[in-house]
Amino acid sequence: MTVEERSSSELARIYELARSPFDDETLKGQGVALIFERPSLRTRASSSSAVHELGGYATFFSDEEIGLESRESAEDVGRTLAQMYAICAMRVRSHAVFNRMRIATGDQMSLVNLLSDVAHPTQAVADVLTIAERFTDGDVAKLAGLEVAYVGDATNVTRSLAVALLRLGVNVTVGAPEGYQLIAGGDEDPGAVTGGGTLRLTDSPTQALREADVVYTDAWVSMGFEGQTARRREDLAPFRVDESLMKFAKRDAVVLHCLPAHRGDEISNEVLDSEKSLVWRQVFHRRSAMLGVLRWIKEEEK
């Protein structure tokens, strides 16, 4: 559901399973239900292909088809799917839907969060793998001390990323204007992570990038916020990741973005298409992350 509710050893196992050789017996003959209440390219592609590579088959359900909470309650959708599927991966508008489905289905079905309003954990797994690939030859346990700066709107992606990195001892600085900054509490709370890296919050984009090894940004207008587009573009303009802002980061700093990118808004073409950009490795690792998560679920079932 969130990175926060997985222990550090569980996360370590997920990272390990994401990178190690696998076979197509893991999900042999088993179905995985994929529900998307919101649009997706990377998440749908990576989850479908990971299920297929592990020997299973994916069944896709769009919101129009099943009418989650309109045609039928989340509980009854869950109870129905649990009769036929052991795993259901979902992209939902409201995180509360996960909790209600989990209560309704108990241990009959494993749920995977493919993005909610508060968290995007499979993206965070992919981001950790991408950063480790660049800085520590893939070894996530050696990332402690790295400096990651997130700038822009502190989104669902920011929360899961921050929790995952702080757990590994990475220091995270979030640069966002008032009203767009991380708020402590809730289901994916970076403020609750103790004993790992340090979380710093600032309203200065240049201050956020000081000492940054990694600069990360996400959309200014996340799904569901389209009605605020004009105001958000104005409020967040100083946080655009462009060549002039990148001068404040370390010279070798790399750039990440979960995508889809809004070129010219939160990130410039020059930066997104530069050698500093690792966005296509992030996309690659979305598949690795799903392999890791699905393999871990099957291990836990044993």
Binding residues for ligand CP (CB under 6 A):
40-43, 115, 123, 258-260
Does 181 interact with ligand NVA (rule: CB under 6 A)?
no
Q: Which sign, positive or negative, has the C-alpha torsion 61, 55, 27, 117?
A: negative
CA 205 to chain centroid, in Å, comes to 22
Does 114 interact with ligand NVA (rule: CB under 6 A)?
no
Q: Which residue, judged by CB position, is nearest to ligand NVA in the bound state?
A: 222
Backbone angles phi, psi at 144, to 5 degrees: -50, 140
Shortest Å, Cβ 41 to ligand CP: 4
Going by their DSSP bridges, the two strands 147-151 and 110-113 should be labelled as unpaired
Q: What angle do CA 266, 281, 264 make, to 5 degrees?
A: 15
Residue 193 or 258 having the CB closest to ligand NVA: 258
Backbone angles phi, psi at 38, to 5 degrees: -135, 160
218: burial class by Cβ within 10 Å (0-12, 13-18, 19+)? buried
Residue 150 or 296 having the CB closest to ligand NVA: 150
Residue 26 or 160 having the CB closest to ligand NVA: 160
Does 219 interact with ligand NVA (rule: CB under 6 A)?
yes
Q: What angle do CA 122, 261, 268 make, to 5 degrees?
A: 135
Does 294 interact with ligand NVA (rule: CB under 6 A)?
no
Residue 6 or 120 having the CB closest to ligand CP: 120
Does 49 interact with ligand NVA (rule: CB under 6 A)?
no
Shortest Å, Cβ 132 to ligand NVA: 21
Does 88 interact with ligand NVA (rule: CB under 6 A)?
no
Shortest Å, Cβ 129 to ligand NVA: 17
DSSP states of 192-204 as a string? G--SSS-EEEES-
User: x/- string (CB under 6 A) for ligand NVA, residues 137-156?
Assistant: ------------------xx
Does 261 interact with ligand NVA (rule: CB under 6 A)?
no
- Nearest-angstrom CA–CA distance, 252 and 174: 19
